Structure 1
Amino acid sequence: MKSNRTMQLLAAAALGVALAGTGVGVAGPAMADPDPDNGIDVSVTIEPNTTPGQVSMTVADNSGVPLREDGSNAAARQFVGTLPTVTVTDTRRPEDIPDGDFWAVVGQASQFTSTGGSAPPIGPQYLGWQPRLLSDTSTGAVAAGEPVSSVISDGTGAPTVGLQGQELLVSTANSADEIGTWQVNADLALRTPVDVAAGEYHSTLTLSLFNQS
């Protein structure tokens, strides 16, 4: 919603510039000089914000992640894609955060099941990812999770455990030092046996934000 509103404001500003440059000589009403004696003082007193902050997570609008074949070889069929951008925001006040508090975004994939169930399922251990931190406006340490590979190794040396409860983004120090906003995504790679049955498969990738003191 925020992005759409920004785009609308930019379009209106561009339109205004175009109209101002048309050169049409239309006389407008005369503008009187401002009279300071007739001015009205507008004031506001803003009290300190007492609304408790929170740690929250959002996922960019998406229609799912279609994986495409790329990088297949004699060892495995490989299908890749990109996770939509995930944003974590911590608006808490330092004094409201317990010592040792930390949070993490964890991903868990379900089995890939074929449409109609005609082919054997592909377990989540065949799906890996490589998280990537996109932005960092924090004052402390927040890091992308470690890459993990399918049980059929991708040759990078990443643990071959698949996407079964793996960290996408994690605070690595006291959360009181890490108030801010972060964005992260991940390269996804499904590596299956070369004799995997043909068909259309679907899995659900669940992202969960955990906070622990």
Structure 2
Amino acid sequence: MKTKRTAQILAVSVLGLALSGVVGPAMAADGPGDGSGDGIDVSVNIEPTTTPGQLSMTVADNSGVSLTENGSDAAARQFTGTLPTVTVSDTRNPEDIPDGEFWAVVGQADQFTAADDPSATIGPEYLGWKPRLLTDSSTGAVSAGEPVSSVISDGSDAPAVGLEGQELLVSIANSADEIGTSEVNADLALRTPVDVAAGEYHSTLTLSLFNQS
């Protein structure tokens, strides 16, 4: 499902720390410059620093995804693989989250380009995915994105639109109710025309975490 909310990509927040000092009243010296006056006690109360929580995304260590031919038919050649696990962690205090704020992880694929012939390409519209939530969804606060198919349909009910800005993971309740960690991956399926040119193709899949209101 494509988001219809107003979205902004997350920015990094920097916390500025200030010292809070308490200084006692000055004591009068007994005589000018004679060194006989009482000392002045200078004190400061330094509170412990705290690190604010944050909303963040990580991708499991990987060396890329290698798609292999699997499930080809008369309509298309099909190549499949699995997206590495994607984790969204929210460690913010609920009271620090604005009312009505939500978040989403969105995926965007570039076109596939043949390694030995840059003129041979396969558009991102031929790549689809089926996201799969890996963590407990009993609260219903977070959901995997809807599956999408290549423009050469796989015969399912998934929209045949390709992977051009699709949600992988999305919060479906107020963010203040979603503190914690959520994990997701996805089955990838590249369905190309049957007469696709032979070769080794490469693409980049970009995942972005957005907050939304």
**CA deviation map 1:86-139 (0-9, x unaligned):** 000000001000000000000000000001225521000000000000013785
TM-score, normalised by the number of residues in structure 2? 0.75
**CA deviation map 1:24-50 (0-9, x unaligned):** xxxxxxxxxxxxxxxxxxxxxxx9984
The match for 2:60 is 60
**CA deviation map 1:135-177 (0-9, x unaligned):** 1378551000000000000001100110000000000010000
User: Do the aligned partners of 2:137 and 2:143 also contact (CA within 8 Å) in 1?
Assistant: no
Of Structure 1 and Structure 2, which has the larger fraction of its residues in strand?
A: 2
Percent of pairs identical after alignment? 81
Of Structure 1 and Structure 2, which has the larger fraction of its residues in helix?
A: 1
User: Do the aligned partners of 1:103 and 1:171 also contact (CA within 8 Å) in 2?
Assistant: yes
What displacement does 1:51 show? 2.3
Q: Where does structure 1 differ by over 6 angstroms across 4 or more consecutive aligned residues?
A: none
- Matched letter for residue 169 of structure 1: L
Secondary structure at 2:122 match in 1: coil
Instruction: Assess, with a 3 A threshold, how the Cα gap between structure 1 residues 114 and 182 changes in structure 2: closer, same or farther.
Output: same
User: Do the aligned partners of 1:136 and 1:183 also contact (CA within 8 Å) in 2?
Assistant: no
Matched, 1:125 2:125: yes
TM-score, normalised by the number of residues in structure 1? 0.75
- Matched letter for residue 172 of structure 2: T
Instruction: Assess, with a 3 A threshold, how the Cα gap between structure 1 residues 91 and 132 changes in structure 2: closer, same or farther.
Output: same
Matched, 1:194 2:194: yes
- Matched letter for residue 166 of structure 1: Q
> Within 5 A, what are the aligned runs for 1:150-189?
150-189=150-189
Which structure is larger by alpha-carbon Rg, 1 or 2?
Answer: 2
What displacement does 1:212 show? 2.1
Matched, 1:87 2:60: no
Q: CA RMSD for the aligned pairs?
A: 1.8
Name structure 2 gaps, 5 residues minimum.
1-46
The match for 2:111 is 111
